[in-house]
Amino acid sequence: MAADPSSPSPTARRRRNARGQGERLREEIVSAAVRMLDELADDEALSLRAVAREISVAATSIYLHFPDRDALVLAAMRRCHEELVRTGDDAEAAHENPAGGLRARILAQVAWAHEHPGIYKVLHESKVNRRLGMPFKEVLIARTTTAVQRCMDAGLAPADDAATVAIDLRTAVNGMLSLRLNEPDLPWPPAHEQVDRFLTKLVGIPTGTGSRR
The CATH number for 104's domain is 1.10.357.10
Cα–Cα–Cα angle for 114, 115, 121, rounded to 5 degrees: 65
* pLDDT (0 to 100) of residue 212: 53
pLDDT in tens, 145-169: 999 999 999 999 999 999 999 999 9
Q: For residues 98 and 154, what is the distance between their CA atoms, to the nearest angstrom?
A: 7
174, part of any domain: yes
90, part of any domain: yes
What is the average per-residue pLDDT within 32-44? 96
pTM: 0.84
197, part of any domain: yes
125, part of any domain: yes
81, part of any domain: yes
29, part of any domain: no
68, part of any domain: no
The three-state DSSP-derived secondary structure of 96-142 is CCHHHHHHHHHHHHHHHHHHCHHHHHHHHHCHHHHHHCCHHHHHHHH
Percentage of the chain beyond pLDDT 90 is 80
39, part of any domain: no
* pLDDT (0 to 100) of residue 47: 95
Domain around 191: 77-211
Q: Is the pLDDT of residue 135 over 50?
A: yes
The total domain count for the chain is: 1
The residue ranking higher by pLDDT, 2 or 65, is 65
